[in-house]
Amino acid sequence: MTGIDGGRGGFGPRQSEGETNLSERRRRWVARRLDAGARALVREDARHFVHQAISTPCLNAVRKAEGIWIEDVQGRRFMDFHGNNVHQIGYGHPRLIAALKRQFDELTFAPRRFTCEPAVALARRLAAIAPGRLGKVLMAPGGSEAIEMALKLARAATGRFKTVSFWDAFHGAGFGAAAVGGEQLFRSGAVGPLLPGTEHVAPFTCYRCPYGYPDEDGRPRLDLCRMVCADFVRYVLEKEGDVAAVVAEPIRAVPYVPPPGFWKAVRAACDAHGALLIFDEIPTGLGRTGRMFACQHDGVVPDILVLGKGLGGAALPVAAMVCRRDLDVVGDYAIGHYTHEKNPLLARAALTTIEIIEDEGLVERAARLGARALARLEDMKARHPLIGDVRGKGLLLGIDLVGDRAAKTPAPEAAEGVLYRALDRGLSFKVSMGSVLNLSPPLIIAEADLDRALDILETCVAEEEAHLFTARAGRVRRARSGSRQRPRSPR
């Protein structure tokens, strides 16, 4: 049995947002599809790197990445709808490469005690594009570190230490980030204990409401649930009474989009109970969802905004925390004293990436292409019973596969099946929460390529569906003929 438990038959930690790298099906794909050279490289990688769920052992080896494409060492090309969400501007954008080459010639590092022009320009630009009146910036080498800077700042500003965040969320692998995260893989068993005071609540997940309320075609029945998920955040803030911050992705990267009004309600609860609101926009920021920042869909401004991933233009590791000006309160302490804090190359990468996103109209493009793609996914759902739900915003889309539409039974085997079939046809994406096909293409994608990717997906879903339902019919037939042949028990 493979699936959300990573093929461990239920004994290992459960996987959630990440995708299993331990399943039998993956091992079979590697054995069949990689040639001797690629297999040797993947084997060598596994020999030298520490193994961990989600990353090592690897699936394959890449030798080139350009635009929306990655090319493996055998020369096969895949449209990359995964890209760890770093590739808003695609891979190797010529303008970014040229800017970095110039920067390499000018200045490659700013040692402690020195600032530099690109770092200052980046801070100014981030303050300009951030929502509301967020205006002070701190850079970090990765998302996890930036989240932890935000946690420290929230503690310092409020004099409190507790947080409220969502189960199943991922906020990074550091001790602090994993503590506010809600994934078993990163917080249980081997690595504990983490930070104290990190309260968790069930997330908005309208298609599979953890509070048991029904949905209507993936949308919440607000008349019934009355947005209990937002109310529960308020409840915990009230009962604890001394929470420093609520930490969350405004749109979950799975993806899951909050019910309308969710963030307004949580913002009001934070304000009522003296808690800050920290938005982790590491995967959703910089245009991915069809607004520069996902929180802008709801018109809610956080106190601290955290960015990462695509900020480095699919080239370099850059993350940032952007906070309210009046939260600049830790002058006597150090909350993000990173060696590469003001590295001019990293700053140039971020600055140029933002310029490309703005100049090429990638935010509007994500909104337009995303709406078209979502309509096409709705259409697919109408034809394929394997698809239980389709959802998303902009070019962050998801297809939730189910074995049974009425029961919404997740179909992790089918999700893996669709993935490997799609890889064979030149499309790569991530499987999230076991059964969600997570589609996150570069925002520069041509309409024709997006259409082709959706064609591939539909073909693969249809094939997997036929495979699944044929196998199921066979089981039913065998069970029926077995029961007919079984000797009657004596009366």
Ligand X SMILES: Cc1ncc(COP(=O)(O)O)c(C=O)c1O
> Contact positions toward ligand X, by CB under 6 A?
142-144, 147, 170-172, 249, 253, 280, 282-283, 308, 319
Whether residue 465 contacts residue 418, with contact meaning beta carbons closer than 8 Å, is answered with no
| 144 vs 205, beta carbon nearer ligand X | 144
Shortest distance (Å) from residue 17 CB to ligand X: 7
Number of Cβ atoms within 10 Å of the Cβ of 51 = 10
Looking at the Cβ atoms of 147 and 225, the one nearer to ligand X is 147
- HEC string for the chain: CCCCCCCCCCCCCCCCCCCCCCCHHHHHHHHHHCCHHHHHHHHHHHHHCCCECCCECCCCCEEEEEECEEEECCCCEEEECCHHHCCCCCECCHHHHHHHHHHHHHCCCCCCCCCCHHHHHHHHHHHHHCCCCEEEEEEECCHHHHHHHHHHHHHHHHCCCEEEEECCCCCCCCHHHHHHCCCHHHHCHHHCCCCCCEEEECCCCHHHCCCCCCEECCEECHHHHCCHHHHHHHHHHHHHCCEEEEEECCCECCCECCCCCHHHHHHHHHHHHCCEEEEECCCCCCCCCCCCCHHHHCCCCCCEEEECHHHHCCCCCCEEEEEEHHHCCCCCCCCCCCCCCCCHHHHHHHHHHHHHHHHCCHHHHHHHHHHHHHHHHHHHHHHCCCEEEEEEECCEEEEEEEEECCCCEECHHHHHHHHHHHHHCCEECEEECCCEEEECCCCCCCHHHHHHHHHHHHHHHHHHHHHHHHHHHHHHHHHHHHHHHCCCCCC
Give the CB-nearest residue to ligand X. 143
State the maximum Cα–Cα separation within the chain, in Å, rounded to a whole number.
Answer: 94
191 or 375: CB nearest ligand X: 191
User: What is the closest distance, in whole angstroms, from the C-beta atom of residue 426 to ligand X in the complex?
Assistant: 24
CB of 256 to ligand X, least distance (A): 12
Minimum distance from residue 194 beta carbon to ligand X (Å): 15
Give min distance, CB of 185 to ligand X, in A. Answer: 12
Q: Smallest gap, in angstroms, from Cβ of residue 249 to ligand X?
A: 5
The amino acid at residue 133 is R
> Which residue's entry shows tokens 């809600």?
182
From the CB of 84, what's the least distance to ligand X, in Å?
6
Q: Which is nearer to ligand X, 283 or 434 (CB)?
A: 283
Q: How far apart are CA 152 and CA 135, in angstroms?
A: 18
Give me the least distance between CB of 38 and ligand X, in Å please: 26
Separation of alpha carbons 103 and 345, rounded Å: 6
The smaller minimum CB distance to ligand X, of residues 234 and 252, is found at: 252
User: What Rg value do the Cα atoms of the chain yield, rounded?
Assistant: 23
CB of 319 to ligand X, least distance (A): 6
Residue 443 near residue 89 (C-beta atoms within 8 A): yes
Least distance to ligand X, CB of residue 336, Å: 13
- Measured in whole angstroms, the distance separating CA 339 from the mean position of its chain's CA atoms is 27
What's the closest the beta carbon of residue 309 comes to ligand X, in angstroms? 6
Comparison of 38 and 311: residue with beta carbon closer to ligand X: 311
Of residues 283 and 344, the one with the C-beta less far from ligand X: 283
Question: Measured from the CB atom, is 177 or 390 closer to ligand X?
Answer: 177
Q: Which is nearer to ligand X, 251 or 402 (CB)?
A: 251
Between 15 and 144, CB nearer to ligand X: 144
Nearer to ligand X by C-beta: 18 or 388?
18
Is 287 or 308 the residue whose CB approaches ligand X more closely? 308
Cross-strand pairs, 320: 139, 307
CB of 127 to ligand X, least distance (A): 21
Strands 276-280 and 243-248: parallel
